[in-house]
C-alpha cells in the first residue's frame, strides 16, 4: 500500500492558480505514469516516463506539465486549469508490465 | 494501436453467485493481461494477471481465461461476497514497459 505515494490527497484550486502534484515510488521501478480518472473516461493515460525520459504524451493540453527529476519522483505541474479538469489524478510505476498505482489526488477546479 | 473493449459496464449478482466480466483486444502482439479492482475511493489494485503463454490462471475464488485466437479474456469470480463489490478494469499490453491499455471498467454490485 505504501509503495507508491501521492501528495496532496485532495486539492481545490481556482482557474488562475498554479499547483503541483507529487508522486514518489519506493519500489525501485524505472517507469512512472500519470493517469486522469473521471466519470467520462475511467483511466486515461496522460504521460509516461521511462528512466526519467518522457516516452509518451497522450495529447495532453499544455496546462498540464510533467516533470521527472529521477526514477523515483514524478510531478505534475498545473496552471490555468478548467473546471472540466476536475478529476482523480493517479500516478503509477512499473518495472516490467505490471503497474502499481498510488492513492491519487482528488482535484477540484473552481 | 491497441484497443480494449470491456463488457458489461455494470453487473449485479446475488451473493454466492458467480460473476463474469469479458474483454476483447485488437492487437495480436499483446501478451500481458492484468485485472485491477478499484473499491470506492481507493486506488486500482492488481488482483490477477495472465500472460499469453497460459490459457487459464486461478487464485482462490478468482480466475482469468485467455483465448488468443479470438483475442478475448475473461475474469471469473465465484461465490461472490459483498466485499467483491467494486469497479473492475481489464488491460492489455505487450512486453516491457509498454503502457497498459485499459478497458472502461465494470461496476460489480454483489447483493446480500
Measure in Å the smallest separation between the Cα of A97 and chain B Cα atoms: 5
pLDDT at B97: 63
The confidence score (pLDDT) of residue A1 equals 61
Identify the contact set of chain A against chain B, taking CB-CB distances under 8 A.
30-31, 33, 42-43, 45, 48, 50, 55-56, 90, 94, 96-104
Distance of CA B102 to the CA centre of its chain: 10
- Which pLDDT value is given to residue B60? 96
* Grid cell digits, residue B91: 488491460
**Per-residue pLDDT, A62:** 93
Instruction: Report the percent of chain A where pLDDT is more than 90.
Output: 78
**pLDDT digit string, tens, across residues A4-56:** 999 999 999 999 889 999 999 999 999 999 999 998 778 999 999 988 888 88
B35 touches chain A (CB under 8 A): no
Q: Is the pLDDT of residue A74 over 90?
A: yes
* Cβ-Cβ contacts under 8 Å for B105 (sequence gap 6 or more): A42, A43, B6, B9, B38, B87, B88, B89
Q: Please report, for residues A10, A74, B12, B101, the alpha-carbon distance to residue B2 in angstroms, rounded to integers and kept in the order given.
A: 32, 26, 29, 7
**Interchain contact B105–A (C-beta under 8 A):** yes
Q: Is A3 exposed, middle or buried (0-12, 13-18, 19+ CB in 10 A)?
A: middle
- Pairing type for strands B10-14 and B106-111 reads parallel
The pLDDT profile of chain B, 112 residues, written as one tens digit per residue, is: 889 999 999 999 999 999 999 999 999 999 999 999 999 989 999 999 999 888 999 999 999 999 999 999 999 999 999 999 999 999 999 876 688 999 999 999 999 9
Query: Which residue is closest to B92 within chain A, CA to CA?
Result: A97
pLDDT on residue B81? 97
Amino acid at each position: 500500500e505504501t509503495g507508491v505515494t501521492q501528495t496532496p490527497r485532495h486539492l481545490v484550486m481556482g482557474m488562475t492558480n498554479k499547483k503541483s502534484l507529487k508522486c514518489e515510488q519506493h519500489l525501485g521501478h524505472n517507469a512512472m505514469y500519470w493517469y486522469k480518472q473521471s466519470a467520462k473516461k475511467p483511466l486515461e493515460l496522460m504521460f509516461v516516463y521511462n528512466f526519467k525520459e518522457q516516452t509518451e504524451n497522450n495529447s495532453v493540453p499544455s496546462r498540464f506539465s510533467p516533470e521527472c527529476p529521477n526514477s523515483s519522483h514524478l510531478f505534475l505541474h498545473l496552471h490555468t486549469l478548467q473546471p472540466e479538469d476536475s478529476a482523480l489524478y493517479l500516478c503509477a510505476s512499473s518495472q516490467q508490465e505490471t503497474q502499481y498505482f498510488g492513492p491519487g489526488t482528488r482535484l477540484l477546479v473552481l | 494501436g491497441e484497443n480494449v473493449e470491456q463488457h458489461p459496464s455494470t453487473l449485479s449478482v446475488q451473493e454466492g453467485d458467480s460473476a463474469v466480466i469479458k474483454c476483447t483486444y485488437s492487437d495480436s502482439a499483446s501478451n500481458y493481461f492484468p485485472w485491477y479492482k478499484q473499491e470506492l475511493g481507493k486506488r486500482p489494485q492488481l488482483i490477477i494477471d495472465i500472460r499469453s503463454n497460459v490459457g487459464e490462471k486461478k487464485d482462490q475464488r478468482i480466475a482469468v481465461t485467455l483465448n488468443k485466437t479470438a483475442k478475448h479474456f475473461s475474469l471469473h469470480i465465484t461465490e461472490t461476497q459483498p466485499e467483491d463489490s467494486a469497479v473492475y478494469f481489464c488491460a492489455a499490453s505487450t512486453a516491457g514497459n509498454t503502457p497498459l491499455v485499459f478497458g472502461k471498467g465494470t461496476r460489480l454490485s454483489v447483493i446480500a
